[in-house]
A and B are shown apart, each in its own frame.
Chain A
């Protein structure tokens, strides 16, 4: 069976700085996996995530999404793949400050255009409700707590029902309780909804909750263990 996402000999160099961010990474991810990417600061965790999330392109090697090589794709085609198949969560929530929680979740749905009008709103509302955010729907990001904002950001990442969710230090700005709540959500997404979640984290307790752990040192994978 074709893996959901596969990296083959993936290397990313910054030519100008002469730095290698990620070197010769070979990884493959199936459906329903909960993967923690760990490693010391500057080990290339985030860079790996952006490469796997089609935000960045490797200087060498291949990234295959459902068997399709993405490296040669034009930027709009990459954008279309991200829109349809991927969801991102960052350390900062990056919600658009002018729009309410509901409107923020609606942006990718409307961009994709598969659902329209009331159907789109219902879908977005359901996502917010699923994350316990129903009362926050009509509030602006600045009116929400840090934990709630991050949950809204997760709802937005899930807006188009992606097969793959990529999170970069999603709990970096959260207290333990909220961080645990985010991981609860990720666990549910992988187990109940069959999505694959890749989380970059440096919190060993949280990393321990993942079903698979990829450890990076200096841009290279040094261990890949399954629980």
Chain B
């Protein structure tokens, strides 16, 4: 095998410039793949991290996945009589037995849960009305399932307890209302209850819809406001291991019957976009590598063509077809491996270059640069693809070389 390697090296060295071009072609493909994948993967990881950071990992809702079957239908499951115009059972909305469910959830290892009552309210200050979604929460428990405290620019979640009828609202919402810390606003619920509330805190998540339209109040206050005493309509769950979210959500739903959504389910649209994004990335960089592979095919073909006599003599000396095939396959592999190595270095350099770029915009999340992934697996995929495509590109001319009949060549030359 050493002999084959030496022969391959000699042949490639002879065509130094062409070899260099082919190596560069592969290297560029690999480098672009690494850079693009780094940007995309980095963005996706950042995005997912943001989702996981802001939103609960699992949300248990006060509804079932399929609407409950009406008693009239249950009474005659396969009846010949169709019951029409049934007045739906008017059940009180909310998660039943929320207390026991919470206790059961918290008994699981690595699980934190918090009850929430969400509902709409109209916030009024002077002549300004802004509709907002108010979340009634339990500060101690909520801190364990949400990172909202991190985004608070004034006050703390705890202050809801110390302030009578305290409310925490988004900065954008405060601006729309024209209020600041300590101001008193009125909240009017669809149930018709009106409460005077004092702004006890402000937050800024960077997500417009949240900053403009969300507020937090104490769970008990919300229950009074919505006129839904002792009711909870959501249980938020946070896990120490995010990847467990989906299977755990399914188990919870099976056990409690409530519709339970993992963060993956809630953000399915975004995750689908990621799949498309990845497909685009792989096809673009794949195209670059494909072009590089054609370069390799070209150089190996040229070498085979020019080396016809050498192949003939090697065969007459006693090299078998397999040896000849390996000889040219190795040349393709050498180009592929060199290209992959150079490409990895180039890709790493490009990533570091991109890391220096500043967008110069003041985004709320404070992200003014590329979030880059430096995952070693990207390098592995790129290199693997480069080496494999080099081998495939070299295979065709290598097979042609191995089938060359030395007698034909020698006869033609003589």
> Does A183 count as interface, using CB distance less than 8 angstroms?
no
Which one of A23-31, A73-81, A208-216 is at the interface?
A73-81
Q: Could you tell me if A79 and B319 are in contact, using CB atoms closer than 8 angstroms?
A: yes
| B321 interface neighbour in A76, A169, A172, Cβ under 8 Å | A76
Q: How many A-B residue pairs have CB under 8 A?
A: 81
Complex contacts, B7 vs chain A, CB 8 Å: 96, 107
Q: Could you tell me if B318 and A90 are in contact, using CB atoms closer than 8 angstroms?
A: no
Return the CB mask of B309-320 against A: 1 if under 8 Å, else 0. 110111111111
| B407 interface neighbour in A50, A91, A96, Cβ under 8 Å | A50
Instruction: Provide the bound-state CA to CA distance between A10 and B323, in Å.
Output: 29
Which of B316, B410, B413, B414 has the most CB atoms of chain A within a 10 A radius of its CB? Answer: B316
> Does B406 count as interface, using CB distance less than 8 angstroms?
yes
Instruction: Provide the bound-state CA to CA distance between A156 and B321, in Å.
Output: 20
Q: Could you tell me if B14 and A97 are in contact, using CB atoms closer than 8 angstroms?
A: yes
- Distance between A94 CB and nearest chain B CB, rounded to angstroms: 4
Complex contacts, B13 vs chain A, CB 8 Å: 98
Instruction: Please name the residue on chain B nearest to A169 by beta carbon.
Output: B414
| A98 interface neighbour in B10, B318, B413, Cβ under 8 Å | B10
| A108 interface neighbour in B2, B309, B317, Cβ under 8 Å | B317
Q: Could you tell me if B413 and A156 are in contact, using CB atoms closer than 8 angstroms?
A: no
Within residues 66 to 120 of chain A, which ones have a CB less than 8 A from any CB in chain B? 75-76, 79-84, 86, 88, 90-92, 94, 96-99, 107-108, 110-112
Interface size on B, residues (CB 8 A): 27
Q: Could you tell me if A79 and B310 are in contact, using CB atoms closer than 8 angstroms?
A: no
Report if A156-B317 is in contact (Cβ < 8 Å); known contacts: A91-B414, A96-B10: yes
Complex contacts, B313 vs chain A, CB 8 Å: 88, 90, 94, 96
| B318 interface neighbour in A83, A91, A94, Cβ under 8 Å | A83
Within residues 364 to 414 of chain B, which ones have a CB less than 8 A from any CB in chain A? 406-407, 410-411, 413-414
Q: Could you tell me if B315 and A79 are in contact, using CB atoms closer than 8 angstroms?
A: yes
| B414 interface neighbour in A81, A92, A99, A112, Cβ under 8 Å | A92
Chain B residues touching A, majority SS:
helix
Q: Could you tell me if A92 and B309 are in contact, using CB atoms closer than 8 angstroms?
A: yes
> Does A168 count as interface, using CB distance less than 8 angstroms?
yes
Instruction: Provide the bound-state CA to CA distance between A169 and B3, in Å.
Output: 29
Report if A94-B312 is in contact (Cβ < 8 Å); known contacts: A56-B407, A84-B318, A169-B414: yes
| A82 interface neighbour in B10, B310, B317, Cβ under 8 Å | B317
- Distance between A74 CB and nearest chain B CB, rounded to angstroms: 9
Instruction: Provide the bound-state CA to CA distance between A86 and B314, in Å.
Output: 13
Instruction: Provide the bound-state CA to CA distance between A38 and B407, in Å.
Output: 19
> Does B182 count as interface, using CB distance less than 8 angstroms?
no
> Does A46 count as interface, using CB distance less than 8 angstroms?
yes
- Distance between B151 CB and nearest chain A CB, rounded to angstroms: 67
Report if A55-B3 is in contact (Cβ < 8 Å); known contacts: A79-B319, A94-B313: no
- Distance between A201 CB and nearest chain B CB, rounded to angstroms: 12
Instruction: Provide the bound-state CA to CA distance between A84 and B316, in Å.
Output: 11
Within residues 303 to 339 of chain B, which ones have a CB less than 8 A from any CB in chain A? 309-310, 312-323
- Distance between B372 CB and nearest chain A CB, rounded to angstroms: 43
Q: Could you tell me if B11 and A98 are in contact, using CB atoms closer than 8 angstroms?
A: yes
Instruction: Please name the residue on chain B nearest to A80 by beta carbon.
Output: B318
Q: Could you tell me if A55 and B10 are in contact, using CB atoms closer than 8 angstroms?
A: no
Complex contacts, A55 vs chain B, CB 8 Å: 315-316, 406-407, 410
Instruction: Provide the bound-state CA to CA distance between A155 and B223, in Å.
Output: 101
| A94 interface neighbour in B309, B319, B407, Cβ under 8 Å | B309
Complex contacts, B317 vs chain A, CB 8 Å: 82-83, 88, 107-108, 111, 156
Report if A82-B316 is in contact (Cβ < 8 Å); known contacts: A56-B407, A169-B414: yes
Complex contacts, B414 vs chain A, CB 8 Å: 46, 90-92, 168-169, 172
Instruction: Please name the residue on chain A nearest to B408 by beta carbon.
Output: A56
- Distance between A89 CB and nearest chain B CB, rounded to angstroms: 10
Q: A82-B318, A91-B414, A97-B310 are in contact. List 13 more A-B contacts (CB 8 A).
A: A53-B316, A55-B316, A76-B322, A83-B319, A90-B410, A90-B413, A94-B310, A96-B7, A96-B313, A107-B7, A110-B3, A111-B319, A168-B414
A-B contact pairs, 26 of them (CB 8 A): A50-B410, A53-B316, A55-B315, A55-B316, A55-B406, A76-B320, A76-B322, A79-B318, A79-B319, A79-B323, A80-B318, A82-B316, A84-B318, A88-B316, A88-B317, A90-B414, A92-B309, A94-B312, A94-B313, A96-B310, A98-B10, A98-B11, A111-B3, A111-B317, A111-B323, A169-B414
